[in-house]
A and B are shown apart, each in its own frame.
Chain A
C-alpha cells in the first residue's frame, strides 16, 4: 500500500522548510498544503490541537507535530535512504543537543533583529552573531555538522539561511563578514537539490518579514 503523506505548512516558515528538506532527502512524494496562519483551517486545528502550529506531517492519516520530532520520525520510518542521524548513540545525543539549542535560541535571536531598532537592535545583532560563531566552532573544519554527510543538525539549521538576507537588510550588517565559514557551509548545503528546492527564495522571505514588520508597527 502506498504511503499517503500530507504536509501542512507555510512557505516562509523555517520549521516547515526543515521538514521539506528531510522529505526531499528521502526522495518522498507528498501533498503540500499551504496554511493561512491568520485564519487556521479546521484540519490544522484538528491535527495539532495542542499548539495549533505548522508544520504538521500527516502520514497515513496520523499527525506528527514539531519540526525536529517530524524530521526524526521521517528518518526512522524511511531509514534505508540518506540517514540524517548518526548511528552512534553519543553522536546522536550530540546532534539532538545542537538541534535543540538551535531551536531554543536562533529563531528568537533573528526575529528580534527584525523587530527592533537602534541600540536595542545592535545588542540583538551582537547576540545573534555570537551564537552563529558558536555554531561555526561546532562545525570546525567538517564539510557538514554531520561530518562528511549532510545530517540532522544541518537540516535543523540550514533553513535559517533563507532569512539571512532579511536579517542583514533590516539589521544593516553582514553575516558573511563575521561568519564566513558558516556562509560557506550554507552555500555547500544549497548545492544539494533537497535544500535548494525546499528553501524559499531569500527575496520572498525578505518581503514576508517586511510585511510582518508593518504588521507589528516597526516600520
Chain B
C-alpha cells in the first residue's frame, strides 16, 4: 500500500496554504502536520535539511519550496491541470509566480514598513509592481483563465497578505481606485469554495502578524 501523502505546514503560512489548495483541487488525500515554527519536529528538519522551512510535501520522498511543490503536484496528479499546457504560457506563469515571491512581496514590505519620509517613494514602487501583475490578468477572470490555476494559487499572497498587512500597518496598497481589476480577482478568488476552505481566518492572521511584528511595531 502506498505511503500516505503528508504535508508539513503551518496555519498562518500562505506558502503552506498554497499546497493545501492544490492538493484539494486535485482530490489528493493527505495528512496535514501542523508545525510549531519555534520548535520544529525532527522529521521536518530531516525532510528539509537545507532550508528547514514549511511547507514540505512528503510523498514517499520529501519535496520543499512551495512553487516547486505546486509543479510536482501538477505532474504527479495530472487530472485538473493547474499549469497551462502551452510552453510559453507555462514560462509566463512561472515568471509571475517567481515575481510575486522574489520581488512583489519585498517591495510591498518596504512600502508597509518604511519610515514616513521614505514611504511615498516605497508605496509608488510597490504600486508599480502591483500594476504589472494586474496587467497580467488582462481580460481573464483568473490568471489561469476560466478557472483557478498555478498563478492564482501563487497569488494567494495578494488575496490574503495584503489585507492583513493593511490592518496591521495601517497602509493600504491595493486600493479600489488604483487596482479595480486586481481587487475583483481577489473577490472571485477568495469566493471559490476550495480557497474559502483553505484561507486562514483574517482576524486570526492579523493578531498573529501583530505578535510577530511586535518588536518592529514598538520601535516605530
Among B50, B88, B91, max chain A CB count under 10 A is at B91
Whether A96 and B95, one on each chain, are in contact in the complex, defined by CB atoms closer than 8 angstroms, is no
Chain A residues with Cβ under 8 A from B103's Cβ? Answer: 50-51
Chain B facing A: main interface SS: helix
Asked, given contacts A76-B90, A77-B87, whether A93 binds B69 with beta carbons under 8 Å apart, the answer is yes
Say whether A159 faces chain B, with CB atoms less than 8 Å apart.
no
Given contacts A92-B72, A100-B68, whether A72 and B63 have CB atoms under 8 Å apart is no
A38 to B75, CA, bound (A): 41
B63 neighbours in A (Cβ, 8 Å): 90, 93-94, 97
Q: Is A101 an interface residue (CB 8 A)?
A: yes
Query: Does B88 contact A64, Cβ atoms closer than 8 Å?
Result: yes
Separation of A97 and B99 alpha carbons in the complex (Å):
17
Contact partners of B64 in chain A: CB under 8 A: 97
A118 at the interface (CB under 8 A from B): no
Q: List residues 123-174 of chain B with CB under 8 A from any CB of chain A.
A: 129, 132
Separation in Å of the B132 CB from the closest CB of chain A?
Answer: 6
Chain A residues contacting B98 (CB-CB under 8 Å) are 66, 69
Task: Please judge, given known A-B contacts A50-B132, A73-B88, A77-B87, whether A93 and B72 are in contact too, CB under 8 Å.
Answer: yes
CB-CB contacts of A55-76 with B at 8 A, as 1s and 0s? 0000100101110011011001
Contacts A50-B99, A93-B63 given; does A72 touch B75 at CB 8 Å? no
Q: Report if B94 contacts A (CB, 8 A).
A: yes
Q: Inside 8 A of A217's CB, which chain B residues have their CB? A: none
Contact of A93 among B68, B87, B94 (CB under 8 A): B68
Query: Per a CB cutoff under 8 Å, which of A73, A90, A101 touches B61?
Result: A90
Interface hub of A70, A76, A96, A101 (most chain B Cβ within 10 A): A96
Residues of A within 8 A of B132 (CB): 49-50
Which residues of A have CB within 8 Å of B91? Answer: 64, 69-70, 72-73
**A89 to B75, Cβ gap below 8 A?**
yes
Interchain nearest-CB distance for B35 vs A (Å): 19
- Cross-chain contact A96 with B71 (CB below 8 angstroms): yes
A219 vs B87: C-alpha distance when bound (angstroms): 45
Contact A92 B95 (CB under 8 A): no
Are A69 and B65 closer than 8 Å at their CB atoms? no
Q: How far is the CB of A182 from chain B (nearest CB, A)?
A: 17
A-B interface pairs (CB < 8 A), number? 60
Q: Is chain A's interface secondary structure helix, strand, loop, or mixed overall?
A: helix
Residues of chain B with a CB closer than 8 A to A77's CB:
87
Residue count of chain A within 8 Å CB distance of chain B: 24
A-side contacts of B71, CB under 8 Å: 92-93, 96
B50 touches A101 (CB 8 A): yes
Interface residues of B in 39-84 (CB under 8 A from A): 50, 59-61, 63-65, 68-69, 71-72, 75-76
Determine the chain A residues whose CB is within 8 A of the CB of B65 once the complex forms: 96-97, 100
Bound: A30/B129 CA distance, A: 32
Known: A72-B91, A73-B91, A76-B87. A89 touches B72 (CB 8 A): yes
CA separation between A49 and B95, bound complex, in Å? 13
Contacts of A100 in B (CB 8 A): 65, 68
How far is B129's CA from A59's CA once the two chains are assembled, in angstroms? 25
Whole-angstrom distance between the Cβ of B43 and the nearest chain A Cβ:
18
CB proximity to B under 8 Å, residues A31-65: 49-51, 59, 62, 64-65
Among A76, A92, A97, A101, the residue within 8 A (CB) of B75 is A92
Beyond A50-B129, A65-B95, A93-B63, 15 additional contacts (C-beta under 8 Å) are A49-B132, A69-B94, A69-B95, A72-B90, A73-B91, A89-B76, A90-B61, A93-B68, A93-B69, A93-B72, A96-B65, A97-B63, A97-B64, A97-B65, A134-B50
Contacts from A to B (Cβ < 8 Å): 49-51, 59, 62, 64-66, 69-70, 72-73, 76-77, 89-90, 92-94, 96-97, 100-101, 134
Pairs A–B under 8 Å by Cβ, sample size 16 = A49-B132, A50-B132, A69-B95, A69-B98, A70-B91, A72-B90, A72-B91, A73-B88, A76-B87, A89-B76, A90-B59, A90-B72, A92-B75, A93-B63, A93-B72, A94-B63
